[in-house]
Amino acid sequence: MITRASEQSKSIRENMRGGNEYVQFTHLTSELPAKARIFDILTLIPGASIGYHVHEGETELFYFMEGCGRVQDDDQFVDITAGDCMATFSGHGHSVENTGDTNLVLLAVIIKD
């Protein structure tokens, strides 16, 4: 099943998980397999963030496509840039902040246990 870029729906989440500004979601496909929860592109404008939260019963994989930022990976703070990957397994937590002056763009997929 092909979903053209022009057909992909978008949504906005303000102050996501207690973060700053908003995150734009591009939902790459309207149909997902049973064990996936999202397959989306997330765009954070400069200064935007997703607050720290823990995933339970699922794993989230991020691939950073554009921009740079700072993430919390459990209790560690790490600067990331395009090309880096972050895996947050069940029982672990993360946050993301765009610390650059261009958009931070990442692909996110959530896979249920």
Torsion (CA) 18, 43, 69, 85 in degrees, nearest 10: 110
Shortest gap between Cβ of 13 and a second copy (angstroms)?
Answer: 20
Judge contact between 48 and 95, C-beta under 8 A.
no
Q: Which stretch binds a second copy (CB under 8 A): 15-23, 45-53, 60-68, 96-104?
A: 60-68
Q: x/- binding map, residues 62-91, to a second copy, per CB under 8 A?
A: -x-x-----x-x----x-xxxxxxxxxxx-
Decide: is 59 part of the binding site for a second copy (CB under 8 A): yes
Judge contact between 58 and 89, C-beta under 8 A.
no
How close are the terminal C-alpha atoms of the chain, in Å?
24
Decide: is 31 part of the binding site for a second copy (CB under 8 A): yes
DSSP state of 8: -
Interface residues with a second copy (CB under 8 A)? 1-5, 8, 28-29, 31-36, 39, 41, 58-59, 61, 63, 65, 71, 73, 78, 80-90, 107, 109, 111-113
